[in-house]
Amino acid sequence: MAGQVAVVTGASKGIGLAVTRALLAEGVAVVAGARDASEELDALQAWAEVDFVAVDLGEPDGAARLVDAAAGRGRLDVLVNNVGAVTPRLDGFGAVTDDQWLRSYTLNLMAAVRTTRAALPMMLAQGRGSVVATCSVNAVLADPGVIDYSAAKAALRSFCKSLSKELGPSGIRVNTVSPGPVATDLWLGAGGVADTVAGRQGADPSAVAAAAAADSVTGRFTRPEEVAALIAFLASDVAGNITGADVVIDGGLITTT
In b/e form, how buried is each residue of 23-46, taking b as 16+ CB within 10 angstroms?
bbeeebbbbbbbeebbeebeebee
Do 215 and 144 form a contact (C-beta atoms < 8 A)?
Answer: no
Q: Which amino acid is at 49?
A: E
Active site residues: 149
CA 14/CA 21 separation, integer angstroms: 11
**Helix 147-167 with 111-126: angle, nearest 10 deg:** 10
Task: For residue 237, give the DSSP letter.
Answer: G
CA 134-135-141 angle, 5° bins: 155
- The DSSP line for 49-109 is -EEEEE--TTSTTHHHHHHHHHHTTT---EEEE--------TT-GGG--HHHHHHHHIIII
The H or E element that residue 33 is part of is strand 29-34
CA 235/CA 31 separation, integer angstroms: 15
